[in-house]
Amino acid sequence: MDWTTNELRNSLRSIDERIVESNPRKFNLEAAELTKRKAFITSTRQTVKDMKERMSSPAAASKQVLLGECGAKGPVGQPGLDKYRRLDQQLQNVNSQFIDEQQVQQQLMAEQQDEQLELVSGTIGVLKNMSERIGMELDEQAVMLDDFSHEVDNTQSRLDNVMKKLAKVSRMTSVVRYWSVAWHPLRHSPPFLHPLMLPPVNTKLILTLSPLDWTLLDWTGLDSTGLDLNGLYWTGLD
């Protein structure tokens, strides 16, 4: 009766261990707890082994003969040894199954990590290509900015030259004066303009007729010298 009770307890314990080992997450088990359970299984296996050795000893066989347990079931101690042998085999099967499941889970985790590493590697490659393109664009823009800066400098230089020329022309035009020759047709013959008596070169001749029938011959010049020729007179007008 005691042996049957112990066997039932061991069987129930084996079933519990199998359920827990097959679903460790369901029972919130960690690696440390699983290690403790494996140690317990090893200890139980050693206990079973010791029990086998005790039952197979001559003293145990003598007790079984005295109690009449051998009968027609076979050799002395054979039924008990078979039951313990089956229990040991079950424990070994449970342990092997647990190890196989753990290996499968570790393999799946390794494959998932490999996939994640491949994704990360691809992302890093894309970022590297983008950074290289951005660097090339920045270099091209730097060259364009340098060219633009040179063009601005050249344009500024040309503009400065033009402004200097305009300032020079402005100073020249600010001192221009008008020359006029007055001549009345009833009193004088048309004026004879001798080249030596004309205003300086590069002056502009303007012929105008006044209301008093005076004909004004205007020049622009840089001189204001007054001359008199046959009743004609030259005046410098500011």
- Residue 154 belongs to a domain: no
Amino acid at site 183: W
- Residue 144: what pLDDT? 92
**Does residue 79 share a domain with residue 186?**
no
Number of domains comprising the chain: 2
36 against 72, higher pLDDT:
36
**Does residue 113 share a domain with residue 199?**
no
- Residue 140 belongs to a domain: no
- Residue 225 belongs to a domain: yes
Q: Residue 68 phi/psi, 5° resolution?
A: 75, 35
- Residue 181 belongs to a domain: yes
Please, what is the end-to-end C-alpha distance for the chain in angstroms? 149
Question: How does pLDDT run across 14-47, given as a tens digit for each residue?
Answer: 666 666 566 666 666 676 777 777 788 788 878 8
Mean pLDDT on 145-162: 88
**Does residue 210 share a domain with residue 105?**
no
Within 13 Å, how many C-alpha atoms sit on residue 204's CB side? 6
Pairwise CA distance, residues 62 & 76, whole Å: 9
- Residue 228: what pLDDT? 36
pTM value surpassing 0.85: no
Long-range CB contacts (within 8 A, 24+) of 229-235: 229/191, 229/192, 229/194, 229/197, 230/188, 230/189, 230/191, 230/192, 231/187, 231/188, 232/181, 232/182, 232/183, 232/188, 232/191, 233/181, 233/182, 234/179, 234/180, 234/181, 234/197, 235/179, 235/180, 235/182
Helix (DSSP H) and strand (DSSP E) numbers for the chain:
4, 5
Q: Catalogue the E-assigned strands of 58-160.
A: none
Mean pLDDT on 127-141: 90
- Residue 156 belongs to a domain: no
**Does residue 123 share a domain with residue 17?**
yes
Mean pLDDT on 113-139: 89
What does the radius of gyration of the chain's CA atoms come to, in whole angstroms? 63
- Give the range of the structural domain holding residue 91, as residue numbers without chain letter: 2-127
**Does residue 62 share a domain with residue 120?**
yes
Whole-Å CA distances, 108 to 26, 73, 102, 114 = 19, 50, 10, 10
Contact 84, 51 (CB under 8 A): yes
134 against 69, higher pLDDT:
134
Give 190's DSSP letter: P
- Residue 102: what pLDDT? 86
- Residue 101: what pLDDT? 86
- Residue 134: what pLDDT? 92
Tokens at residue 86, please?
């089956």
Mean pLDDT on 50-56: 75
Least confident of 54-58, 107-111, 139-143: 54-58
- Residue 171 belongs to a domain: no
229 pLDDT more than 50? no
163 pLDDT more than 70? yes
166 pLDDT more than 70? yes
- Residue 95: what pLDDT? 81
Amino acid at site 49: K
Question: How does pLDDT run across 177-226, given as a tens digit for each residue?
Answer: 444 444 444 444 444 444 444 444 444 444 333 333 334 444 443 333 44
**Does residue 204 share a domain with residue 107?**
no
- Residue 150 belongs to a domain: no
- Residue 106 belongs to a domain: yes
